[in-house]
Chains A and B, each alone.
Chain A
Amino acid sequence: MAKFQSYYILCPLIDQNSFLGVTEDKESENVVVTLSRNVVNKYRLSDQKQIGGWTSKDHITAPVIYDKEQESYIGVFNKNTIKSWKNDDDNLDKLKKYKFSINILKLVARTNDTALIIFENGNCASLPYGVDNRKTYENKLLIKESETIIDVACCSIDKKEYVCYVLKNKKDAYEILTCPIREELGDLEKAKLNRIKVTRSEDVYVVGHLICTHSKNIYILWSDSKMGIYDIKEKSWKVTFSIPWISTVSEVSVAWMGDNNLIFFGSNTEQDGAILVAYNVALGVGSCKYPMKMYTQHAKLYCFNSRILLQASNHIGMLPYILETDRNLSSLLGSHDAQENQTVIADWGTSDQPLFRISNEMQELLLKGLSERSIFAQIIPSVVKTNDFNHILKALLEFQDIPESNLVMLLNYTIKEMNVDHIDITNEDEFLNFCSSQLDYSEDKYELIPKFVLLNHLLRTSFSDALMLPHLQNGMSLDNGLFLLSYIAYLITETDLYIAHESIMYDWCTLLLDAFYQQYLMIKDEKVSYVLEKVRKIVVGLIDNLNNVSSVMPELDKIINKSQVPEEKVLSTYTIELLNI
């Protein structure tokens, strides 16, 4: 789910119409703002401070980008000239000019490659190749005269770079053009060019679009607030969603927030103000909205470094956001509006059969529509009666959600079957010997192994401790509890547990201490104090280890940074020094 923080201003806009755009800088927390035809500024997002900037006598006609490959800033001047400069260059007018014979639309920065020059005629070329052949570079018109490129992006799919255009003709019809580009040269592989018309019924029209280089999709928003997703790789339309809260009568700006979230900026449904809407594509729900005062048509919208950058009427605004991957059921509620007319059913490509294999005894219960819990509660007594550990384990493996009462019952059953009464848990050697017999495949211990496997599995099962507590208090004897505690202590100290399992072990520890708290206090049994002391030692040992780790960390950090470790002024009580007396 997305959450917005408070909105503030990154920088004022000189002229709304001449604003060209924002691009990423070398560091992710900085942005390059091509403020107008003559001014380029660098801002730090964290404190909105201007950290650099240039002015130019020539008109800048496309957003200035930072090319990571050449480690320089590149700008398009007067539509046909490219200049590149470093961070410390201060005069843009004295730079070397690379004049092209055809007009350049814009430059597109690529993550692992040089920037791409997009020409107005639809062709493209990688920056070095384009610059080298700027005089001779003349290509046929790729797009029709009546068409204009309104959006362009470059994304890589399966290690192949694709350039995608969103085209619009004079009749307001949209077309998507995708084409793989050749390595090094960066020009189009025209044989594989793919054009697709964006069409639906006559009464709707396109209000927003986004070429998303992260999800490799092109999102088209229609005036009936439906959104189509075009998969660039599959060359197919996937699903459609309905976008809530936003008026889709007028232009809507779209950007990608990350983690399946889109951000929309448009007029609100009452058409008396603007709204920002975050929309989760995976869940198909609007996850957050933020009301704004002024709606701006064709507002440029970006997301950099967990911040939304929005071109507002007279400034560039900034709205930090947080994306949470945890799906909170409550946040989904009420946001899923039922659509009555013409619901488009997505093809999931799956059957309506359950994904898991089911045994015969469950079939019947499953048909009744019982929950996993109740099914388990119903079958397990009969399974236990068979006294076959492998069978019990198999049954257990089929369920995720096991009632706590059954878990306690199974634990009791297993401990009883293990015949632990003769084991003296205060005798360390004997107990260790017993516990390690699960690794011993010799004849006489052989029958113990499945029991240990079952016990280990039971202890790995997730549970709710609040629900577990009464069952433990009522259903488990102190002896069993002490055995379990000792066994968990053994598992923590003697075996290698993976982290999730270990954390469950600690939960069990707390729970067992909690459940038998009163008994521990009342009974003056050596066994009890022995086990508790053992647990205490483990906990203290673990805390010591953690403290050691945390004290080692800064030391290591100091060593890595080669900062001199300041020697403590040793005022030892006895020294022998060389002095001039």
Chain B
Amino acid sequence: METKVHRFRYYNPKPESIVCVSYNKTNKVLALARKNASIEIWDIKHAPFLLQFIPGAENASVEALGWVNERLLSTDLGGALLEWDLDKRHIKKTVMLTGYAAWCLDVNDNNTAVAVGTEQGYVNIYSVENDDIVYQKLFDKQEGRILCCKFDKTGNVLVTGSIDTIRVWNVNSGHATCRISCKRRGKEVIVWSVAILSDNVIVAGDSHGRLSFWDSVMGDQVESFATQKADILSVAISDDEKSLYCSGIDPIITMYVKVDNTGDQSGIQWVKNIQRNIHEHDVRALVVSGERLISVGADGYLTLSSYPPKKVMRIPPMIPSPRTSFCAMKKSLLLRYSNHLEVWQLGSYARDTSGKIVVNSDIKQEILTKKSGALENDTTLIHVNNHEKERSLKVTEEPIKLVSIQTKSKKEIICSEMAPNGDLIVYSTDSDIRMLKLDEDQGNISLRKVIVSGVKACDGIVFTEDSSKMIVHHNSELFLLQVDPDAGASVIHSVSTVKHLKGRPILHLVISQKYPQGYILAISNVKGDISVWGLKNKKLCHMYNVPKHTCVPSSMAIIDGLLVIVYVDQKVIEYDILKEAMWSWPQHGSIPFWTSRNMAAKTISKHPARNAYVFTDEVSIWTVEKTASQSVEPNKKKVPMKNNERLGVNVTPVKYLAGFHWIAEDEAVIVEVLPENIIMQLPPVMVKQRHNISTKI
């Protein structure tokens, strides 16, 4: 049976460009900061998955990030070195630096010292040992701001780049050992990015689009390439130092490889290898993670690419999930933006006199136009779908925006939820929790504040089926609130989760349907611990912890007494809550094509009409039959399968899926963010000369 899918495209939060990244090689965690000073921490060991989100503050900035083991440091234009408390999402320690605005930061390989370059030309060295930040040294003041700095492998040498010069410093003495002038014909050259290789060769990218190689001892230029048409903002070197990447305002990513002709040191040459055209906007930072290159920039996308094999994967800039909530009864949709919420009423389709749905006769044909010089497309996922021609229904009522809710003092929202009856809306910033009642009186919508007492803020909210109780999580504590739209919501019970969840912020908080015994809750944290709780007689009690997997769960749901968990390595686990037994799902065989997935599943739901699970991620909806014979070996080639009944897998591509909810057995809503709408909100890009026609994209 076909599902009537509402494609809702009014949700277009402003994409925030990414300013800087820091990659933690030991636990493969990537920290990135956006222009609004929010910090995101992604697990990229398997499918990239957003672990944590620290909302930005007004007038704040993050210029550079750095990992010291599992501690995250950042600098800002205010001239401070900050350490973040990732458990509590706030600043743990602030150290004021010498020399005002701090532009760059680097941590040495031993994780003992951090260097910060500042506006006035001071390099600040701080010791970061023993879980502390202690002032160590200040290098000699130099002319002009320091825009980039890098330790060498030993940690004894620091290279800094500033306007017209590159300096090599002895970290122990604090004096410069070499000053390289890279002024070209009297023109100002800004060194945006430096790197130092183990053979003491400095690689620098500058504002003339020139990638130059220097001898750090003698200060001589070894080689120079001018492949980029504009400023190089980032240089990234692979772990084996055999290849490097550079990119910048000219968003082409150029790869260079080391060629050893003779075997001795003199025969080493760097040569240009390949170019990747995967960004349209400025590339601000590059990170090499094993085989993958991570590139980020003004477009806000987190882009992972590899060569060989040539692949591209883009994760669009989106509000952290869950972004949407839905009330099937009222067909109302709650949309979360960075600092406001919107409630929409879905539209409806036409039915003819006999009650049949009216299908528009015009068949849309998607015209794929591939322009020369266009961006590389995302490496397509397999399309397993009986692709019939898309048939659209006649829309009789357009969706209506009911209300828009601004947060208190415009703070960023941490989480939001709508009660199952569609009347109550709850959201929380990092300091306040708010509950609002949506009243509808003969078409007039009004909002009424409902007082929440007993809890300050939260990072996870669920409602019980009957909307009478609400469970929120805050600071390793679960609160059970009795909700009355008139009297307000008040805490009736609270319990600490520290013992079971090691005090880390939570990733998921899910609740089951009502069982005769009560409700079941499942909570997971960013460490991958999952604990199951029972709600009975207005009391929350811990039942047990689910055995821990090597990676974090990307999504969980309690379906028919089973706790279904999808991990970021695409493993699916079914856990029988009553019998306390678990098995990987499917029990026999495997889900065809499942291993080829590269996106982490964001939601799991049960297909309301069939015995199947529906998994969604940002680019597709996967429906996997529970009963189908899964013994069929997946076909390696990307052949669209005609007979996918046999396979029991159905993939519907959506670009990009922000939310998916079932309305009825044969009706669902997809909240879609089109790539065009993301691009539309981005700043203009560098003008490129293409076939003698200068085009502004």
Binding site for B on A (CB under 8 A): 566-567, 569-581
A567 B362 Cβ-Cβ under 8 A: yes
If A569-B364, A581-B621 touch, whether A576 touches B676 (CB-CB below 8 Å) is no
CB-contact partner of A579 in B3, B10, B674, under 8 A: B3
Within 8 A of A (CB), among B341-372: 347, 349, 359, 362, 364-367
A579 B364 Cβ-Cβ under 8 A: no
- The interface bits of chain B over 384-420 (1 if a CB of A lies within 8 angstroms of the residue's CB, else 0) are 0110101111010011000000000000000000000
Residues of chain B with a CB closer than 8 A to A569's CB: 364-367
Q: How far is the CB of A149 from chain B (nearest CB, A)?
A: 62
Q: How far is the CB of A43 from chain B (nearest CB, A)?
A: 35
Residue among A569, A576, A579 having the largest count of chain B Cβ atoms under 10 Å: A576
A577 B9 Cβ-Cβ under 8 A: no
Q: Which residue in chain A gives the minimum CB-CB distance to B399?
A: A574
Q: Any chain A CB within 8 A of the CB of B437?
A: no
A580 B349 Cβ-Cβ under 8 A: no
- The CA of A579 and the CA of B676, in the complex, are separated in Å by 22
B674 A580 Cβ-Cβ under 8 A: no
Q: Any chain A CB within 8 A of the CB of B8?
A: yes
With A576-B4, A580-B2 known, 14 other A-B pairs at CB within 8 A are A569-B364, A571-B676, A574-B7, A575-B395, A576-B7, A577-B4, A577-B7, A577-B390, A579-B5, A579-B390, A580-B386, A580-B388, A581-B623, A581-B652
- The CA of A570 and the CA of B674, in the complex, are separated in Å by 13
A567 B388 Cβ-Cβ under 8 A: no
B5 A571 Cβ-Cβ under 8 A: no
Residue contacts A-B, CB under 8 angstroms, 15 given: A570-B364, A571-B9, A571-B674, A574-B395, A575-B6, A575-B7, A576-B4, A576-B349, A577-B4, A577-B7, A578-B390, A578-B392, A580-B2, A580-B385, A581-B652
Q: Any chain A CB within 8 A of the CB of B607?
A: yes
Q: Any chain A CB within 8 A of the CB of B424?
A: no
Q: How far is the CB of B578 from chain A (nearest CB, A)?
A: 30
Q: How far is the CB of A348 from chain B (nearest CB, A)?
A: 63
B392 A576 Cβ-Cβ under 8 A: yes
Q: Which residue in chain B gives the minimum CB-CB distance to A568?
A: B367
Residues of chain B with a CB closer than 8 A to A579's CB: 2-3, 5, 390, 652
A-B pair number, CB within 8 angstroms: 76
Q: Any chain A CB within 8 A of the CB of B614?
A: yes
- The CA of A575 and the CA of B347, in the complex, are separated in Å by 9
Q: How far is the CB of B606 from chain A (nearest CB, A)?
A: 12
A580 B652 Cβ-Cβ under 8 A: yes
B4 A567 Cβ-Cβ under 8 A: no
Q: How far is the CB of B617 from chain A (nearest CB, A)?
A: 14
Residues of chain A with a CB closer than 8 A to B3's CB: 578-581
CB-contact partner of B391 in A567, A574, A577, under 8 A: A577
- The CA of A413 and the CA of B347, in the complex, are separated in Å by 69
If A567-B362, A580-B386, A581-B668 touch, whether A574 touches B4 (CB-CB below 8 Å) is no
B10 A573 Cβ-Cβ under 8 A: yes
Within 8 A of A (CB), among B622-655: 623, 650, 652
If A567-B362, A567-B364, A581-B668 touch, whether A574 touches B650 (CB-CB below 8 Å) is no
Q: Which residue in chain A gives the minimum CB-CB distance to B607?
A: A581
B5 A574 Cβ-Cβ under 8 A: no
A580 B362 Cβ-Cβ under 8 A: no
If A574-B10, A576-B395 touch, whether A567 touches B5 (CB-CB below 8 Å) is no
CB-contact partner of A578 in B4, B395, B623, under 8 A: B4
Q: How far is the CB of B245 from chain A (nearest CB, A)?
A: 34
Residues of chain B with a CB closer than 8 A to A581's CB: 3, 5, 607, 614, 621, 623, 650, 652, 668
Closest 7 CB pairs of A and B: A576-B393, A578-B2, A573-B9, A578-B391, A581-B3, A579-B5, A576-B349
Residues of chain A with a CB closer than 8 A to B395's CB: 574-576
Q: How far is the CB of B101 from chain A (nearest CB, A)?
A: 42
Residues of chain A with a CB closer than 8 A to B6's CB: 574-576
Residues of chain B with a CB closer than 8 A to A566's CB: 367
- The CA of A569 and the CA of B3, in the complex, are separated in Å by 22
- The CA of A576 and the CA of B395, in the complex, are separated in Å by 7
- The interface bits of chain B over 552-573 (1 if a CB of A lies within 8 angstroms of the residue's CB, else 0) are 0000000000000000000000
CB-contact partner of B5 in A570, A572, A576, under 8 A: A576
- The CA of A569 and the CA of B614, in the complex, are separated in Å by 29
Residues of chain B with a CB closer than 8 A to A574's CB: 6-10, 347, 395, 398-399
Residue among A571, A573, A577, A580 having the largest count of chain B Cβ atoms under 10 Å: A577
Q: How far is the CB of A471 from chain B (nearest CB, A)?
A: 50
- The CA of A464 and the CA of B399, in the complex, are separated in Å by 62
Residues of chain A with a CB closer than 8 A to B385's CB: 580
Q: Which residue in chain A gives the minimum CB-CB distance to B391?
A: A578
- The CA of A249 and the CA of B358, in the complex, are separated in Å by 89
- The CA of A575 and the CA of B365, in the complex, are separated in Å by 15
Q: Which residue in chain B gives the minimum CB-CB distance to A566?
A: B367
Q: How far is the CB of B258 from chain A (nearest CB, A)?
A: 46
- The CA of A573 and the CA of B399, in the complex, are separated in Å by 10
Q: How far is the CB of A284 from chain B (nearest CB, A)?
A: 53
- The CA of A578 and the CA of B391, in the complex, are separated in Å by 6
Q: How far is the CB of A570 from chain B (nearest CB, A)?
A: 7
- The CA of A578 and the CA of B6, in the complex, are separated in Å by 9
- The CA of A580 and the CA of B387, in the complex, are separated in Å by 8
Q: How far is the CB of A567 from chain B (nearest CB, A)?
A: 7
Residues of chain A with a CB closer than 8 A to B668's CB: 581
B393 A577 Cβ-Cβ under 8 A: yes
Within 8 A of A (CB), among B1-48: 2-10
Within 8 A of A (CB), among B644-689: 650, 652, 668, 674, 676
Residues of chain A with a CB closer than 8 A to B652's CB: 579-581
Q: Which residue in chain A gives the minimum CB-CB distance to B610?
A: A581
Q: How far is the CB of B362 from chain A (nearest CB, A)?
A: 7
- The CA of A580 and the CA of B650, in the complex, are separated in Å by 8
Residues of chain A with a CB closer than 8 A to B9's CB: 571-574
Residues of chain B with a CB closer than 8 A to A571's CB: 9, 674, 676
- The CA of A567 and the CA of B364, in the complex, are separated in Å by 8
Residue among A571, A573, A581 having the largest count of chain B Cβ atoms under 10 Å: A581
Residues of chain B with a CB closer than 8 A to A567's CB: 362, 364-365
A575 B392 Cβ-Cβ under 8 A: yes
Residues of chain A with a CB closer than 8 A to B8's CB: 573-574
Residues of chain A with a CB closer than 8 A to B349's CB: 576
- The CA of A547 and the CA of B365, in the complex, are separated in Å by 29
- The CA of A572 and the CA of B621, in the complex, are separated in Å by 21
Residues of chain A with a CB closer than 8 A to B398's CB: 574
Residues of chain A with a CB closer than 8 A to B10's CB: 573-574
Q: How far is the CB of A438 from chain B (nearest CB, A)?
A: 52
- The CA of A581 and the CA of B395, in the complex, are separated in Å by 20
Q: How far is the CB of B413 from chain A (nearest CB, A)?
A: 23
- The CA of A580 and the CA of B362, in the complex, are separated in Å by 19
Q: How far is the CB of A28 from chain B (nearest CB, A)?
A: 38
A577 B392 Cβ-Cβ under 8 A: yes
Q: Which residue in chain B gives the minimum CB-CB distance to A572?
A: B9
- The interface bits of chain B over 492-517 (1 if a CB of A lies within 8 angstroms of the residue's CB, else 0) are 00000000000000000000000000
Q: How far is the CB of B351 from chain A (nearest CB, A)?
A: 12
- The CA of A575 and the CA of B398, in the complex, are separated in Å by 9
Within 8 A of A (CB), among B281-331: none
Residues of chain B with a CB closer than 8 A to A580's CB: 2-3, 385-386, 388, 650, 652
Residues of chain B with a CB closer than 8 A to A576's CB: 4-7, 347, 349, 392-393, 395
- The CA of A581 and the CA of B668, in the complex, are separated in Å by 10
- The interface bits of chain B over 595-614 (1 if a CB of A lies within 8 angstroms of the residue's CB, else 0) are 00000000000010000001
Residues of chain B with a CB closer than 8 A to A570's CB: 364
- The CA of A579 and the CA of B362, in the complex, are separated in Å by 16
- The CA of A579 and the CA of B623, in the complex, are separated in Å by 12
- The interface bits of chain B over 144-160 (1 if a CB of A lies within 8 angstroms of the residue's CB, else 0) are 00000000000000000
Q: How far is the CB of B395 from chain A (nearest CB, A)?
A: 6
Q: Which residue in chain A gives the minimum CB-CB distance to B621?
A: A581
Q: How far is the CB of B664 from chain A (nearest CB, A)?
A: 13
If A571-B676, A573-B9, A573-B10 touch, whether A578 touches B359 (CB-CB below 8 Å) is yes
Residues of chain A with a CB closer than 8 A to B676's CB: 571
